Amino acid sequence: MTETCDFLIIGGGSAGCIIARRLAEKSAGRIILLEAGKEDEGDVAAIDLFRLDEQTEDYDWGFKASTFAGSKPELNYARAKILGGCANHNDCAFLRPPDSDFDEWENLGAKGWGAADMAPYFPRVMENTHVEEAPHHPASQIFVKAVTELGLTKIDFQKQISEGVGYFPLNAKGRLRQSSSVTYLHPLSKLPKHLEVWTQTLATKILIENGKAIGAETTRGTISASRAVILACGSIQTPQLMMLSGLGPAQHLRGLGISLVADMPELGEHLRDHVGAPVVWETHGPVAPWEVCPFEATMMLKLDDDAPAPDVLFHFGLRVREKYGEDPRLFVNGPAVKASPNVTRARSEGRVKLASADYRAAPVIELNYFSDPYDMRILMKAMRFTRRLMETRSFQTLCKAEVHPGPDVRSDDEWIGYIKSVCETVYHPCGTASIGHVVTPDLRVKGIDNLIIGDASIFPSLITTNINCAVMMAAEKAADLVLG
Write out the residues near ligand FAD by the rule CB under 6 A: 10-16, 34-37, 78-82, 85-87, 89-93, 202-203, 232-234, 237, 241, 427-428, 455-456, 466-469, 471
Task: Provide the 8-state DSSP code for 19.
Answer: H
Instruction: Give the nearer residue to ligand FAD in terms of CB position, either 155 or 203.
Output: 203
3-state secondary structure of 478: helix
CA atoms of 353 and 168, how far apart (whole Å): 34
The β-bridge relationship of strands 132-133 and 169-170 is antiparallel
Instruction: Give the nearer residue to ligand FAD in terms of CB position, either 399 or 471.
Output: 471
Is residue 264 within 8 A of residue 251, CB to CB? The reply is no
Instruction: Give the nearer residue to ligand FAD in terms of CB position, either 32 or 399.
Output: 32
- Nearest distance in Å: CB 383, ligand FAD: 21
- Nearest distance in Å: CB 169, ligand FAD: 10
- Nearest distance in Å: CB 373, ligand FAD: 26
In the complex, which residue's CB is closest to ligand FAD?
A: 13
* First vs last C-alpha separation in the chain: 31
- Nearest distance in Å: CB 265, ligand FAD: 22
Is residue 203 within 8 A of residue 37, CB to CB? The reply is no
Cβ within 8 Å of residue 472, ≥6 positions away: 14, 15, 18, 125, 129, 180
Instruction: Give the nearer residue to ligand FAD in terms of CB position, either 240 or 392.
Output: 240
CA atoms of 119 and 125, how far apart (whole Å): 11
- Nearest distance in Å: CB 455, ligand FAD: 3
Peptide bond into 187 cis (omega under 30): yes
- Nearest distance in Å: CB 381, ligand FAD: 24
CA atoms of 59 and 13, how far apart (whole Å): 12
Instruction: Give the nearer residue to ligand FAD in terms of CB position, either 34 or 389.
Output: 34
Round the CA-based radius of gyration of the chain to a whole number and report it: 22
Is residue 330 within 8 A of residue 280, CB to CB? The reply is yes
- Nearest distance in Å: CB 281, ligand FAD: 22
Instruction: Give the nearer residue to ligand FAD in terms of CB position, either 183 or 392.
Output: 183
Instruction: Give the nearer residue to ligand FAD in terms of CB position, either 139 or 453.
Output: 453
